[in-house]
Amino acid sequence: MKKRLGPTTDLMPMPALLVAVRTGEDEANVLTVAWAGIVGGQPPMMALEIGSGHYSTPFIEREGNFTVNVPASTQVVGVDYCGMVSGREDPTKAATCGWTFLPSTKISSPLIAECPLNFECQVVRKVEASQGAFYLVEILETHVDEKVLKENKIDALLVDPLIFTPDGKYYRLGECLGKAWDVGKVLKK
């Protein structure tokens, strides 16, 4: 039996990401974003929903860019903090979480050094939405910690990304079930 829930956002899992935007000379703010995902590959594109009332939003508008930082599951406390506390209350959220910034190579907003994977993103389109806007961004550069590389490729288990589910919980990756474009071959006629 199925129960109808109406329109919901109950897609799962979602990535728990940290968006960092330049707020001033050697200053940046960090907010947690889970409504985000890759939406294109050539060039690499991401879409994110960001509320209009956030402290970060005018800075995103001004800079036209931000970094998307993939935290490890061990960074869960800081991720939750950056999603609960506004930069209006704590303008140095990254420092509170024990994180530091590194300069990006192509945009003004910095990378979070302690996150194993970082994307430099340029806003290319904005679609107004009821609570904010959908930002379509082009990924101009990717940075990865060497220690999460296996045979020169990013190893998801080594990244150990933090996962968010719409019931309001955090998880880490589970077991690998096989290779994509491969396990389904057993059903091929």
Over the window 3 to 32, marking each residue x when it contacts ligand FMN by CB under 6 A and - when it does not, the resulting string is -------------x------------x-xx
37 vs 40 by CB, closer to ligand FMN: 37
Closest CA to 160 of 147, 169, 151: 147
Structure token digits, residue 142: 């990717």
Residues of this chain, 137-176, that bind ligand FMN according to CB under 6 A: 164
Structure token digits, residue 161: 């990304």
For residues 144 and 142, what is the distance between their CA atoms, to the nearest angstrom? 7
What letter does residue 12 receive in the DSSP assignment?
S
Query: Quick one: which segment of 33-41, 68-76, 134-142, 152-160 binds ligand FMN (CB under 6 A)?
Result: 33-41
55 vs 101 by CB, closer to ligand FMN: 55
Residues of this chain, 47-106, that bind ligand FMN according to CB under 6 A: 49-51, 54-56, 80, 83-87
What letter does residue 161 receive in the DSSP assignment?
B
DSSP string, 32-97: EE-SEEEEEETTEEEEEEEETTSTHHHHHHHHSEEEEEE-BGGGHHHHHHHTTS-TTT-TTHHHHT
# binding residues, ligand FMN (CB under 6 A): 21
Which position among 22, 23, 28, 35 is part of the footprint of ligand FMN (CB under 6 A)? 35
Which position among 33, 72, 115, 121 is part of the footprint of ligand FMN (CB under 6 A)? 33
102 vs 129 by CB, closer to ligand FMN: 129
Q: What residues form DSSP beta bridges with 30?
A: 20
Which position among 132, 139, 144, 149 is part of the footprint of ligand FMN (CB under 6 A)? 132
Q: How many CA atoms lie within 13 A of 92 on its CB side?
A: 6
Binding site for ligand FMN (CB under 6 A): 16, 29, 31-35, 49-51, 54-56, 80, 83-87, 132, 164
